[in-house]
Amino acid sequence: MSAIKVGIIMGSQSDWPTMKEAALILDELGVAYETKIVSAHRTPDRLWTYGKEAAGRGLQVIIAGAGGAAHLPGMMASKTRVPVIGVPVQTRALSGVDSLYSIVQMPKGFPVATMAIGAAGAANAGLMAAGILANADADLAARLDAWREALSASIPDEPADD
């Protein structure tokens, strides 16, 4: 198993069904990752330690998902120079628009690469992380190119009735 370069973190166990979409993509592409529950509000010390140690532990990308008052991605970006990809988790009360706004409007200086709300955003976060790592990993680049080609090939030319 190669060294872990991607951290998938989330604010709650309840975020896992969404964030698992990122993990499944990384599984498909053969990218090693770790998963952790790190809450900006409920476990702030865990957030601080994770951010402080991320670069030194060799993490190259952090995928951070949270819902509602989704401060985890932004706070993580403030604590580490490791690029943070934010995933707004879909909420019941406001359908994830609250999550999106909480993540996307970062002040100049501390960016978060914000994905779409929900499962598609989480899957795209996995693809984005793989794309970043592929810049320095020719084997991964070939796997990612093949993955993209297979997706394109799976799209029919014409619509069909069910």
Kindly tell me which residue out of 29, 66, 87, 100 binds ligand RP5, with binding defined by CB under 6 A.
66
Rounded least distance, CB 159 to ligand RP5, Å: 35
Nearer to ligand RP5 (CB atom), residue 39 or residue 78: 39
Of 108, 155, 115, 154, nearest to 131 (Cα)? 115
Footprint of ligand RP5 on 73-102 (CB under 6 A)? 89
Of 78, 5, 15, nearest to 42 (Cα)? 15
Cβ–Cβ contacts within 10 Å for residue 130, how many?
24
Strands (E), the chain: 6-10, 33-37, 61-67, 84-89, 113-114
User: Residue 51 in contact with residue 79, Cβ under 8 Å?
Assistant: yes
CA of residue 116 relative to chain centroid, distance: 11
Kindly tell me which residue out of 9, 47, 64, 67 binds ligand RP5, with binding defined by CB under 6 A.
67
Nearest to ligand RP5 by Cβ — which residue? 11
Total chain residues near ligand RP5 (CB under 6 A): 10
Interaction between residue 68 and ligand RP5 (CB under 6 A): yes
Is 92 marked within a binding site?
no
Query: Which residue positions form the known binding site?
Result: 12, 15, 42
Query: Which residue positions form the known binding site for substrate?
Result: 12, 15, 42
Q: Which residues bind ligand RP5 (CB under 6 A)?
A: 11-12, 14-15, 39, 41, 66-68, 89
